[in-house]
Each structure stands twice: as C-alpha cells, then as structure tokens.
Structure 1
C-alpha cells in the first residue's frame, strides 16, 4: 500500500480521494482553503495542511497526487521530485512544453516515477480500440477523429478554471485534452496542427468550441473537437484500410468491416480513476512500466501548446518532436 498526499481538494481532487483505496491510500491533503476542506478531510481520515512543507518532509509519504491549478504544476512537481516523492499530476501536466520537459527531467534525475492523469485511456472501450490497432485488425492506419465534450458551462461560471492563463484555447485544457491525448495514444506524435476557437456570448458561461486539424508524424491525418456547453460525450474513431473502429463513451465500440454489418461490442464498466491510481502505485511499488510512456506524455503537451498557438495566431503550427 502506497501512502500518498493529495494536493488540491477541489471537485477533482475529491473525486480522486474517493476513487482511491486499492494499491494507493491518501493519508494527507494539502489545501489552502482549510476551512472549506475540513469536513471532507475528516470524513476521509486525511491530515489537512495549508502548505506542502510538512508533507514533503514526511518520509512516510511516498507519493503526491496533484489536482491543483495548472499553472502550479511546474513548481509543485519540481518540489516533489527534490523531496524524493513519486508524482501523479492531473492533466495538463504543463501549459508549455518547456515546463513539461523540465518536470520530466527533474523526476528522471531524482529517480522518482511520474504519471499523468489521462483517465480516458483506462476506459474499457479505449483499451479495446488500442488492442485492435496493435493486432493489425484495422490494417494500415489512415485517419482518426476524436471528440470530447462535457456540459460544464453552466456549472462552472467562475474560479481559476475560467482564467485564460489557466485554461487557454477554450475547452482544450479540460475535455479537449482527452481527445488530443486519445489521438496521440493511437497514432503517435503530432507534426502539425491548425486550430480554431469560436466563442458564443454572453459571458460568464464559457460557451465555445475548438476544432483542430491534425497531421501526425507518421503521415496520417486527424480531426478533433471539444465543446464546453453540450452533454458529456466522447467519440474516438480510427480508420484503416481493412476496417474502422469507433469508441462511443466508456463501454461501447463499433467495428466496421467491408461487406459485413457493423459489430457493436459492449464492455463492463470499470472505475478509470481507481485504475490509473493503481497503475501509478505499481510504478512506485514494483517499478512497473508507466501506463503512459514519457514520450506520449510530452507529445500531448507539445500538441496542446501547438493548438494554443494556432488559436492565438490563426495560423498552422509545426510541432517539435518529443
């Protein structure tokens, strides 16, 4: 059992605490708003701290999990690595590729594992899609389309998540990053992106859409989109010369072959948050390979940064190699 500290007890930090209980157990929490978090911490047996110093100095705590504002990830990861703590960081790992490289380098130099919270990779349907591709069932890969949206524009009308510095390019740092990571997880690093952000007033509700044209380093193509004002929806559709396979949500996949009716496969639901925390715990406890390779982690940040720059400049942006 890995004893860990959660940094940030907002909505998502609390979700991670409630999902844990397998190979990882939260014993401490770092949350500046101690008054607002005291009841939750007491219910879950968490020692509550306003700052990180005592947590990072505690040898019993082997890992930290960051569910904090995006702009804080860089300094928090560097501090955790310097203290010898394994790090699980919610996405986006960083807002710039330079920060992401520094964070990965610091963890590598300190000899501590790092993981990033791209929980959609743990959905049963997404695992099945990756298996089909790995087995060659789709033939030569040609194109991928991904869409991830969630209805949060009426629920989230203030706070740090709406600050442009914390969430550039509209919904990209939220649901959009899941769509981008899904594409990269299947097709590899992105070579070039063209992105557009369209907004719909009035404020403060964030009603906007992001559309992205992708060109991958392997020569294949992709499209992705995200909207912050429509019900929860995830779709990832990979196209090959022999077949296409389309993920619709957590547990459904549709396989389409030539001269055959579509085949719908349904899977039992699983707790993706528990699964990603358990995978991280295995990294820490046994040295198991990371669930998401460092190259993919960096490729997603590079693609994200290119989308942001394309939105800001209205131009096509070339991506650096991870």
Structure 2
C-alpha cells in the first residue's frame, strides 16, 4: 500500500520475530525486510513471505526501507546503528542502546549530526499502565515523590545458563542484563539520577557474575529509590511476572513498584493510588482507587510511535540520549557494587542535547 510505513527488522530471533509480527498485523505498517546473517533465519523469513538479506549494506543497496529496528545482540548495536545513520535511515535500537555509555554517546552524536531519528526500545514507557501512572504523577495525584521501592526478583533455571555459557561470565549478571529496563522506568517517573550506592552478592551457583544486587539511587529532585534485582530468587515480584506484557511469563496479581509521595502512594502494576480520606494523618482512614488504563500491546504502540517519528509527526518518546542516560546509571551501579563506593552520575555533553528529528520525506 502506498501509505504504509515500511520498516525492516534486523535480527530474526525471539524479539525480532515479535517485532515482525507487530508489523505484519498493524494497519499502516509493513515489514519491509528481514536482515540476518544466519541462512536458516533468512530461509524462515522467506518462507513467511518476507524479503531477506544477509547484511544491512545489502538491504540498503537493493531495497532501502523507511526505518529499521535493530533486534540484534547488544555488541552489534554500535556498528549497525552507525550504518543506519550513514544511510540516512531512522533507527529504533532494542535496549540497551549499546554495551557502554561511551558507545551510546557515539551513536547519539552521529544521529544528531546527520539529523537522523534515533530511538531506543524501552517499550515499557509505551505500556498503558505506565502512561496512566506517569499522568497521575505529573498531575500531582500523590504529591511530590519522596521514595520508590522497586523489586526485580525471579529465578532463571540452570538450562538458561547452559544454553548460552556467556551468561555465567563476569559482566553478564542481572545488573547489566536486567536492571536497565527498571532503571529507565525509574528515570521516567522520578527524573535524573544524581548518585548511586550499590552492593552485589556473588553467584550462589558458582558463576563469575553476581546473582543478587541492591542499589540506592538519589535523584536530582531529592527523592530516593531502592531497587533490588536477582535471577536466583523464587518470587512473584518482578515486572515480567506482574505486568502481563509478555505471555511467555506466568502472570501474578502482585506489584513490584511502590512509589511514595507527600500526598499519596502508588503501586504498579495494579495502579492503586492510596490517600488518606480527610487529611494526611496516619491516625485517619486511608483508602485506594484504581487508575484507568489502556491495554494495547506496548510493542505495537511503540512501533506506531516509531512510524510517526519517521513521518515527522512527533519527537521520540525514548531518544538515543534517554537510552544513554539509563545505561550510564546501570554502569554506575556496576561500578559501585564492585568498589563499594558511591558513584556520582556525571553529565556528558550529549546529555544536554536531543537528537534532531528527521523531517518527513
């Protein structure tokens, strides 16, 4: 169709196939092509009726799309992202944006200089419950945020690590693999992080990395968040098990975020706002109301948003700079856990700049 926005997916793995399915079933969007160096993956894409290419360069030469989603392993994001930018193609990079914040800055600077839209796939920000919570916070429903408690506990089975032995090595623990999602939401709700203090516990299974970490984040606006992450605790309190975003995870009726404000409290993902009925006084009755929310697939909402950015109709909700800032906080947590020292978050030059939006063609 003439009016369809044609988006290519690079990396036809688990998340890449989910993006492809979103493009297949979304009005106004089309899967332009699949890019994957693996011959079997390309054959699978062709069998499903999609064009398939071995490399980004080959695709840009033969069938340039309107935009690209990078759903490849994180170490490939820098090179592939720069390739998209060099070809003047808007790009949505799956989180985390890069291996390091220094690489992320390379991407954001290149995108800004080329005037190419760069987005990061922190899809939780597109979730209806997150939008409802953010609106309530911005509207003053709980007053000023004073503290947040976030829990990210789950149990990854042994076969998860045996299938990919790199997951047992230093640097592949839950701090680097899992926390970036939760840190990004905390920044979305509370603003920028000023400093971090963290502790990590060595793997109980004897791996090189940690399997438990807790961090205290102090934000510029004065609130404090505590966040605990573990991939070796059996518990129902994690975003994956409480949000019902991904049907691959069993759903629980618990909450994993508690947000405390000067006039009320908010829990997620159940979206209950707690306030005293008459006055803010622990001797007076307290009750709750549940916020209304939309139930669209956040991956689909994110993809439609990407299309609007490509068309020049809006600015990115999660820009490359936003992805870099969240990654910087995760790096600070890892450093603090390793050294035992508090780590200040130093703003880079790129943090004060947002990549310019590419105008509609």
Q: Do both share a fold (TM > 0.5)?
A: yes
Counterpart mapping for 1:62-141 below 5 A: 62-141=66-145
Counterpart mapping for 1:152-163 below 5 A: 152-154=156-158, 156-157=160-161, 158-159=163-164, 162=167
Deviations 1:297-320 (A, max 9, x none): 332121122112223323221111
> Which residue of structure 2 lines up, in the alignment, with residue 290 of structure 1?
316
User: In 2, Cα distance between the equivalents of 1:2 and 1:149?
Assistant: 38
Deviations 1:169-197 (A, max 9, x none): 61234432111111000111111112222
Partner of 2:152, secondary structure, is strand
Aligned length: 316
**Pair 1:301-2:327 in alignment:** yes
User: In 2, Cα distance between the equivalents of 1:155 and 1:274?
Assistant: 31
Residue 26 of structure 1, aligned match among 22, 25, 31: 31
Residue 212 of structure 2, aligned match among 198, 209, 215: 209
TM-score, length of structure 1 as denominator length = 0.89
> Which residue of structure 2 lines up, in the alignment, with residue 220 of structure 1?
223
Shift of the alpha carbon at 1:206?
8.3
User: In 2, Cα distance between the equivalents of 1:31 and 1:265?
Assistant: 42
> Which residue of structure 2 lines up, in the alignment, with residue 13 of structure 1?
16
- The more displaced of 257-266 and 1-10 is 257-266
Residue 263 of structure 1, aligned match among 254, 279, 289: 289
- The more displaced of 10-19 and 142-151 is 142-151
> Which residue of structure 1 lines up, in the alignment, with residue 340 of structure 2?
314
Are the aligned partners of 2:273 and 2:288 in contact in 1 as well (CA < 8 Å)? yes
Counterpart mapping for 1:239-250 below 5 A: 239-248=260-269
Are the aligned partners of 2:90 and 2:118 in contact in 1 as well (CA < 8 Å)? yes
> Which residue of structure 2 lines up, in the alignment, with residue 51 of structure 1?
55
Segments of 5+ residues of structure 1 without an aligned counterpart are none
Residue 307 of structure 2, aligned match among 274, 281, 295: 281
Question: Which structure's residues are more often strand, by fraction?
Answer: 1
Segments of 5+ residues of structure 2 without an aligned counterpart are 240-255, 277-284, 352-361
Shift of the alpha carbon at 1:60?
3.6
Shift of the alpha carbon at 1:124?
1.6
User: In 2, Cα distance between the equivalents of 1:203 and 1:43?
Assistant: 43
Are the aligned partners of 1:34 and 1:49 in contact in 2 as well (CA < 8 Å)? no
Partner of 1:61, secondary structure, is coil
- The more displaced of 82-91 and 45-54 is 45-54
Shift of the alpha carbon at 1:125?
1.4
Shift of the alpha carbon at 1:45?
2.2
User: In 2, Cα distance between the equivalents of 1:47 and 1:298?
Assistant: 32
Shift of the alpha carbon at 1:88?
0.3
- The more displaced of 27-36 and 82-91 is 27-36
For the pair shown, the structure with the greater C-alpha radius of gyration is 2
Are the aligned partners of 1:153 and 1:205 in contact in 2 as well (CA < 8 Å)? no
Partner of 1:148, secondary structure, is strand
User: In 2, Cα distance between the equivalents of 1:153 and 1:305?
Assistant: 26
TM-score, length of structure 2 as denominator length = 0.80
| RMSD over equivalenced CA pairs, Å | 2.5
User: In 1, Cα distance between the equivalents of 2:196 and 2:150?
Assistant: 14
